[in-house]
């Protein structure tokens, strides 16, 4: 049971069935109440007509014994003292009118005959229906429920009497009973149909999702990130899920491939200085007089810098967030340019950004180091504010960067042909680190041609 209702299809079917069931039951109750109210209103109208008919006869001086009383509508005429003056023939018992007596208490015929001899008497009158109620009556041995109407009438002698007339509720009971039976039979069948249709439709709708799940399971088992999940030929949420899943797989594949290349390149780059250092130490151990101390120190420093770059890239790949400290790029540029030959800094006002001072210093240092390797004689650093951005420009007077290589130089361990020397060109990590740090700070790093020739690197960061 737990496994069954752990299915999205089962939960959707159950929810849809419950909603439809509640709606149908509520609609059925409303229909029954409306039907009953309408039929009760019809019964009230019939009782009103019967009461008015009897009242009209009384007002026209028809004796109580000669009243035309419809056998289908039980009638009871009583005076203000509750004495029965006339009843429908065959009426054996009555309830709901307030007077249970069904036998006339006196013989009104003679009194009404005396009244008829009085030529000066006037016709009586009657008003509107003053009351409706529900009760029962037994006529000719058959008991039934009735809706009763009451009307007051003043007879020609000036006496006020009450006329009660009833209308049977048998039609109402039959109609409500029939409607209830139809609903008791039809509603469960309709709910079952809704549940079955929902189950089938949901299964068909979720079939692509199952295909995506199966595809992901196969990819996980095979560890083949080049595979993709099937994309349905629709424009719904499932198709977008499949496309997003494939995009995620593509990004994951690229990330894994980049990580593999990174590990391979890092191993290759580390192997050279370590091997060189080991060779020098082994030679020095056997022949101390051949010890190249400067070369050993140079290889150690290069190895130290490479290890620092690799550690920084690892922290950036792990999602390390920069701090929110305020950093003045103008001051930072002047500090980095100090002691470098041929570097001129143009910064006339503070330009503050939020971020890591150490990482931003590394960006400027890498840009200046790169410019120093390619410049012929001069490097120009400009720091200024450009709208809501802080702009740092590092320009050199070298040969520049070919347009086809302007994105490639920001990849890790990439060195252009003229910078392939590991001693002079570095490991190819400086510009990759600079762009990664810039992006982590919400900025960009691009390269284009300098106005006076050479390469112009532009670092844009949001103003603090």
Give the list of residues 6+ apart from residue 329 with CB closer than 8 angstroms, or none.
347, 351, 352, 353, 360, 383, 390, 392, 461
CB 211 within 8 A of CB 233: no
More confident residue, 350 or 118: 350
Task: Tell me the CATH number of domain 322-462, given options 3.30.565.10, 3.40.1710.10, 2.40.50.140, 3.30.70.270.
Answer: 3.30.565.10
276 DSSP assignment: H
Buried b (16+ CB within 10 A) or exposed e, 130-154: eeebebbbbbeeeeebbbbbbbbbb
d(CA 174, CA 205): 45
CB 383 within 8 A of CB 394: no
pLDDT (tens digit per residue) in 357-396: 999 999 999 999 999 988 888 999 999 999 999 999 999 9
Sketch the domain layout of the chain as residue ranges: 14-175, 237-314, 322-462
pLDDT reported for residue 117: 45
Beta bridge partners of 151: 129, 163
CB 105 within 8 A of CB 111: no
Is 60 exceeded by the pLDDT of residue 34? yes
pLDDT (tens digit per residue) in 264-312: 777 777 777 788 778 878 887 887 877 777 777 777 877 887 788 788 8
Q: Where are the beta strands (DSSP E) in 231-369?
A: 326-328, 343-346, 352-354
- Average pLDDT for the chain: 85
In a 13 Å sphere around the CA of 248, the CA atoms on its Cβ side amount to 10
Q: Find how far residue 399's CA is from the centre of its chain.
A: 56
Is the pTM of the predicted complex or chain greater than 0.85? no
Q: Is residue 60 packed enough to be buried (19+ CB in 10 Å), middle (13-18) or exposed (0-12)? A: exposed
Tell me how crowded residue 242 is: count the other CB atoms within 10 A of its CB.
Answer: 21
CB 154 within 8 A of CB 124: yes
Q: Find how far residue 322's CA is from the centre of its chain.
A: 33
Is 70 exceeded by the pLDDT of residue 262? yes
Closest alpha carbon to 450 in 404, 386, 400, 409: 400
Q: For the chain, give the percent of residues with pLDDT over 90.
A: 39
* H or E segment to which residue 130 belongs: strand 125-139
pLDDT (tens digit per residue) in 412-441: 877 765 444 444 456 778 898 899 999 999
Task: Tell me the CATH number of domain 237-314, given options 1.20.1440, 1.20.5, 1.10.287, 3.30.70.
Answer: 1.10.287
pLDDT reported for residue 253: 87
pLDDT reported for residue 295: 74
pLDDT reported for residue 122: 56
pLDDT (tens digit per residue) in 160-171: 899 999 999 998
């Amino acid at each position: 049971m737990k496994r069954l209702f752990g299915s999205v299809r089962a939960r959707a079917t159950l929810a849809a069935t419950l909603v439809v069931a509640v709606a149908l039951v509520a609609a059925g109750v409303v229909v029954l109440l409306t039907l009953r109210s309408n039929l009760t209103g019809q019964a009230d109208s019939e009782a009103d007509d019967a009461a008015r008919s009897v009242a009209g006869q009384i007002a026209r001086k028809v004796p109580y014994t000669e009243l035309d009383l419809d056998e289908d509508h039980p009638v009871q005429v009583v005076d203000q003292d509750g004495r029965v003056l006339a009843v429908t023939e065959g009426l054996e018992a009555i309830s709901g009118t307030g007077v249970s007596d069904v036998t006339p208490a006196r013989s009104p015929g003679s009194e009404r005959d005396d009244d008829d001899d009085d030529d000066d008497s006037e016709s009586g009158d009657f008003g509107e229906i003053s009351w409706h109620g529900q009760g029962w009556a037994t006529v000719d041995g058959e008991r039934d429920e009735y809706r009763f109407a009451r009307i007051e009438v003043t007879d020609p002698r000036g006496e006020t009497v009450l006329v009660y007339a009833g209308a049977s509720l048998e039609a109402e009971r039959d109609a409500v009973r029939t409607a209830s039976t139809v609903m008791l039979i039809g509603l469960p069948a309709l709910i079952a149909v809704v549940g079955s249709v929902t189950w089938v439709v949901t299964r068909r709708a979720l079939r692509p999702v199952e295909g995506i799940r199966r595809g992901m399971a196969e990819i996980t088992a095979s560890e083949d990130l080049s595979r993709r999940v099937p994309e349905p030929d629709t424009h719904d949420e499932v198709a977008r899920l499949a496309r997003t899943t494939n995009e995620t797989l593509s990004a994951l594949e690229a990330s894994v491939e980049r990580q593999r290349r990174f590990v391979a390149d890092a191993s290759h780059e580390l192997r050279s200085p370590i091997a060189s250092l080991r060779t020098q130490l082994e030679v020095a151990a056997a022949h101390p007089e051949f010890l190249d101390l400067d070369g050993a120190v140079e290889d150690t420093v290069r190895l130290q810098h490479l290890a620092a770059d690799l550690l920084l890239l690892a922290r950036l790949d792990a999602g390390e967030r920069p701090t929110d400290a305020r950093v003045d790029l103008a001051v930072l540029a002047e500090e980095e340019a100090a002691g470098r030959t041929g570097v001129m800094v143009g910064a006339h006002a503070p330009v503050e950004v939020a971020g890591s001072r150490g990482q931003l210093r590394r960006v400027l240092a890498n840009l200046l180091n790169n410019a120093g390797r390619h410049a012929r004689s001069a490097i120009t650093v400009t720091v200024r504010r450009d709208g809501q951005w802080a702009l740092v420009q590092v320009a050199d007077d070298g040969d520049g960067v070919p347009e086809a290589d302007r994105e490639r130089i920001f990849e890790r361990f990439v060195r252009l042909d003229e910078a392939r020397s590991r001693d002079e060109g570095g490991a190819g990590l400086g510009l990759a680190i600079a762009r990664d740090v810039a992006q982590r700070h919400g900025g960009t790093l691009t390269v284009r041609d300098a106005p006076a020739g050479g390469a112009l690197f532009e670092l844009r960061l949001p103003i603090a």
